[in-house]
Every structure is written in C-alpha cells, then in structure tokens.
Homo-oligomer: A and B are copies of this chain.
Amino acid sequence: MKKVINNAEQVVEEMLQGIVLAHPQYVKRVEGFNVLVRATSPVQGKVALVSGGGSGHEPSHGGYVGRGMLDGAVAGAVFTSPTPDQVYEAVKAVDGGKGVLLVIKNYTGDVMNFEMATEMAEADGIQVAKVVVNDDVAVENSTWTTGRRGIAGTVFVHKIAGAKAEQGADLAAVQKTAEKVIANLRSMGMALSPCTVPAAGKPSFTLAENEVEIGMGIHGEPGTHREAIRTADETAEHLLSKILSDMTLAAGNEVAVMINGLGGTPLMELYIVNRKVAALLAEKNIKTAKTYVGNYMTSLEMAGFSITVLKLDSELKELLLAPADTPAFVQF
C-alpha cells in the first residue's frame, strides 16, 4: 500500500484536522467528534441539513458544508457508517430552531444509525426529518444495501435542498423538495481499478488487466457484470441508456448532468465521457441546464466514473442554479 498518510488508524482524524485548517472560513469541528459544521453554526431560523457517511468519498460530505448546501457533515471511518452518537452531535450543533433534515445515502448501516440519532435528537425536542437517496440504477439490493444504493446524485440533493433551506422554507417543505430531487435522480457508474482502504492495506477486489466492472458501487460493491474495457463512447452509452430507461424523459425536458470521477480518473477522460453524454441527450432533444464534471463523490483512488441525470422542473432548476459557497462547491 503506497499512500500519503501517517497512520492507517488516524486518517479520518488527520483529514478532518487538515480540512478545518484549510477552510476555517467555512467549517469548524464539533469538539471531540468527527463532525464538521459551518463556521457560523447554528444558523438561527433556518432549517439545517446534515449528511455524512463513511469517509473516503471526499469531497463528500465535509466539502459541501457551507452557505447554500449542508450545515453539518458526519465522517465515519473509511467506508463505514458513522455511529449514532456522532450524527446526534451534528444535529445538536446545527439546529437553529427550525429543525434538521438528514440526507442519508441508502446503506443499511447509515440508515439505521441516522435513525437512531433521530430518536436521540427528538428526545431532546429537536425536530428531525430525513430523506434516503437511492439514485444508483445498477442493481437492486447489494452488499450493505436493501434497495438501490445512494451515490453521486446525493450531491444534487445537498445542493437543491440546501438552497431551499437557505430561502427560509420550513422543514416539511425542505424535505418535500429533497424527495422530489430523489424521485427525479438516477445515476450509474463503472470502475477500472480498485482502491485500498488504509486499515485493510490491500485492494478490496481485483480486476484483470483489460477488465472493468459495470455498475460498481462506491465502496467496490459488485455491479451488474464485468467485461473487457470498451470505448468511452460505448461505456457512456451503456450507462446512460440504463439511466434513461428508468426515467420518464420526453423531448423538451430539461436535466442537470454530473460526470463524477471516482478519485483516480483524469479529468480529460471525464470530459471525453461528457462529450458522448451531451450528444446522446441532444439527439433526444433533452436540454441540459447545467453540467458538472469532476470528483464529487469519490472512492479514494479508484479509477472510474459515474453519470448522474436529474430531471428538472422550474423549482429544481432555480434551486440548483442558486448560489452556494462551500469548500468544494462554489457557484455564483
């Protein structure tokens, strides 16, 4: 294992320290917990958003803490759900009196632990609502998941629900908007190479020299199948067709697109994928309101990418394009 680390057991702690030292204008640490909240938290009179999950997906989720997106992010061990007490501390730290929305990626451990935290916070009189993101169309059920997995599309939930909260909407309205995003959100990915969890010290799976895995999850969970690597265009077309066959999109509809790198993929390759995705959408007369290309939801140094399509209506479009100011997502 060749990594720029000091100690495999300390990577999350040291990363969190590094984030706070880099971005004190955006985030602060909840003392004693693996929780980052806005430097200005709690923001009084605003619904707060908390997300999180295992570490190793950076900039998710700490990179999205800031104006217009999250109020708090909880960091579990690498690829491991955060414990309920950590989530509970995040909720307490960000509640500004209007309640807290939890944005949970659909993994059994995350769902369970965020729910336990909800009960703890409600016992304190804090209003808590939750949404579960399940955008990955690759497989139903999977390692650690009942139903579909939550992957890169989660960032659109942060962005849009975060903008709704910033506008002053109440908890029920922010939750309803987040649920609308989830209902219109589909993603699918593929991997060219595995990654190594520091504490494990070796790759969690292997792929042959010329082999890729289609539909692989962001922790290396199995996808639909393995195959010999095809061209970027063929792969993009395959993933996009799986995504679109699960959505109701008509000519003239408007979408947002994310081409997400898993951590070890050159930006050059993501743009080559986008070239094909944009052409395929244009052929169908589907209009792309905005495209995001980059490393938004990673799997450490895994090579590969995912495509996310979000069907927009006027509300979702306005909220998506609203300003945001966070360490990893800034938009005028």
Interface residues of A (CB under 8 A from B): 2-7, 11, 14-19, 21-23, 55-56, 58-59, 63, 192-193, 195, 209-210, 212, 229, 231-233, 235, 259, 263-275, 278-279, 291-295, 298, 300-301, 303-305, 323, 325, 327-328, 330-332
A-B contacts, 10 listed (Cβ < 8 Å): A4-B265, A4-B270, A14-B271, A19-B271, A58-B266, A63-B267, A263-B267, A265-B301, A293-B327, A330-B332
The reply to whether A268 and B332 form a contact with Cβ atoms under 8 Å apart is no
The reply to whether A278 and B21 form a contact with Cβ atoms under 8 Å apart is yes
Question: Contacting A275 at CB < 8 Å: which of B14, B56, B209, B301?
Answer: B14
The reply to whether B331 and A55 form a contact with Cβ atoms under 8 Å apart is no
Measured between beta carbons, the chain B residues less than 8 angstroms from A295 are: 267, 295
Measured between beta carbons, the chain B residues less than 8 angstroms from A269 are: 3-5
Measured between beta carbons, the chain B residues less than 8 angstroms from A21 are: 274-275, 278-279, 291
Number of identical protomers: 2
Residue of B nearest to A11 (CB): B268
Report Cα–Cα, A66/B291, bound state, in Å.
Answer: 16
Measured between beta carbons, the chain B residues less than 8 angstroms from A327 are: 293
The reply to whether B15 and A301 form a contact with Cβ atoms under 8 Å apart is no
Residue of B nearest to A259 (CB): B22
Measured between beta carbons, the chain B residues less than 8 angstroms from A292 are: 22
The reply to whether A301 and B266 form a contact with Cβ atoms under 8 Å apart is yes
Report Cα–Cα, A188/B15, bound state, in Å.
Answer: 21
Measured between beta carbons, the chain B residues less than 8 angstroms from A279 are: 21
Measured between beta carbons, the chain B residues less than 8 angstroms from A294 are: 328
The reply to whether B332 and A2 form a contact with Cβ atoms under 8 Å apart is no
Measured between beta carbons, the chain B residues less than 8 angstroms from A59 are: 267
Measured between beta carbons, the chain B residues less than 8 angstroms from A4 are: 192, 232, 235, 265, 269-270, 272-273, 304-305
Residue of B nearest to A325 (CB): B332
Report Cα–Cα, A148/B279, bound state, in Å.
Answer: 42
Residue of B nearest to A281 (CB): B21
The reply to whether B55 and A272 form a contact with Cβ atoms under 8 Å apart is no
Question: Contacting A267 at CB < 8 Å: which of B23, B231, B232, B298?
Answer: B298
The reply to whether A272 and B332 form a contact with Cβ atoms under 8 Å apart is no
Question: Contacting A18 at CB < 8 Å: which of B210, B274, B332?
Answer: B274
Question: Contacting A298 at CB < 8 Å: which of B15, B259, B266, B300?
Answer: B266
Additional pairs, 11, CB under 8 Å, beyond known A5-B272, A294-B328 = A2-B209, A3-B269, A4-B270, A15-B272, A22-B259, A22-B292, A58-B266, A59-B267, A63-B267, A264-B301, A330-B331
Report Cα–Cα, A15/B58, bound state, in Å.
Answer: 24
Report Cα–Cα, A179/B97, bound state, in Å.
Answer: 51
The reply to whether A58 and B267 form a contact with Cβ atoms under 8 Å apart is yes
Report Cα–Cα, A265/B3, bound state, in Å.
Answer: 8
Report Cα–Cα, A22/B281, bound state, in Å.
Answer: 12
Residue of B nearest to A235 (CB): B4
The reply to whether B274 and A22 form a contact with Cβ atoms under 8 Å apart is yes
Given A2-B210, A232-B6, A58 contacting B268 (CB threshold 8 A)? yes
